[in-house]
Structure 1
C-alpha cells in the first residue's frame, strides 16, 4: 500500500505556504508525523501551493500549517486533506481504510485544536 507524504517547506509564519508530495510504500516505513485536526465547516479559501499548483484549504488547516512550519528546515507530515486525493472516491475510501496503519506508523501524531485563546496559559 502507498501513501503520500507532505513536505512542508520552511518559512516564516506569514510567508506563503508551499508543500511537496511524494509517494511512499508503507512497507518502506517512511518518516512522517501525522496531523489530526478539526476540518470544521469553514470554507476552503486559504491558498497554498502543492508541487507548485494552488490548492485552497480551510482556515484551521492553514493556521495549523503556519504554526507547525519550521523556519529553516522542512517538516514531513501526513495530512488527510492534502495527502489523499479528495476528488477520487476510490482513493479516499482506500486511504481511510489505511488510517489504522498510517497513524500508528507515524513518528508522532500531532493534534491541532486551534490557536491558543487569550485566556489560556499557552
Structure 2
C-alpha cells in the first residue's frame, strides 16, 4: 500500500494521539464514493470527545481509496465500508481509527500507541463495533440478539455495563 500522507510526530510526553475528522459528503460527484477526512493531534489529558471504531482490518490486498488531508491513502475494504456507512450527512464526526491514527510505518510509535489503546477506548464517548456490511442473514441475527436482550432484561440482567452480580 503506497500512501502519500506524511504523519507529523506525536508528542509522547503530552500523551498525544491523532484523531480524524470524518467529513460529510460535500456534493462533489467525483468524491461521492471516497471518504474524506482530516487528521489532528490532541492530548488524551484534555479529555477530547470522539468516537472510537473497532473493526477487523481485513486483507490488505483488497483495498480502497480514501482522502486523508487531501492525500490519497489506501485502506482495507472493511474500513472503507465502515467509513462509508458512518460518513455523516451534515456535520463532521471526530473518530479514532487505529490504522489511520497510528503511523503504521513507525514501529516505535506503534508500540506506545498500541499500549494506549485501552485508555483510548475507555475515554471514547462512544465505541462503534463494525461487523461488516449486511448480508442475507443479518436481519435474522439482529432479531435474535434483540430477543435475547429482551429476555435478559426480563430476568433483571439490564444493569448497564457493569458485570452481572448476584445479590
Q: What TM bracket, shorter-length normalisation?
A: over 0.9
**Structure 1 ranges of 4+ moved more than 4 A:** none
1:116 to 2:104 alignment: no
Q: Distance in 2 between matches of 1:44 and 1:31?
A: 31
SS of 1:31's equivalent in the other structure is coil
2:51 matches 1:33: yes
TM-score, normalised relative to structure 1: 0.93
Relative contact order, higher structure (CA 8 A, sep 6+): 1
SS of alignment partner, residue 138 of structure 2: coil
Structure 1 gaps, min length 5 = none
Counting strand residues as a fraction of each chain, which structure ranks higher? 1
Q: Secondary structure of the equivalent of 1:104?
A: helix
Computed over aligned residues only, the root mean square deviation of the Cα atoms, in angstroms, reads: 1.6
1:17 Cα deviation from its structure 2 partner: 1.0
Larger Rg: 2
Counterpart residue number, 1:4: 18
- The runs of 5 or more residues in structure 2 that have no matched partner are 1-14, 143-167
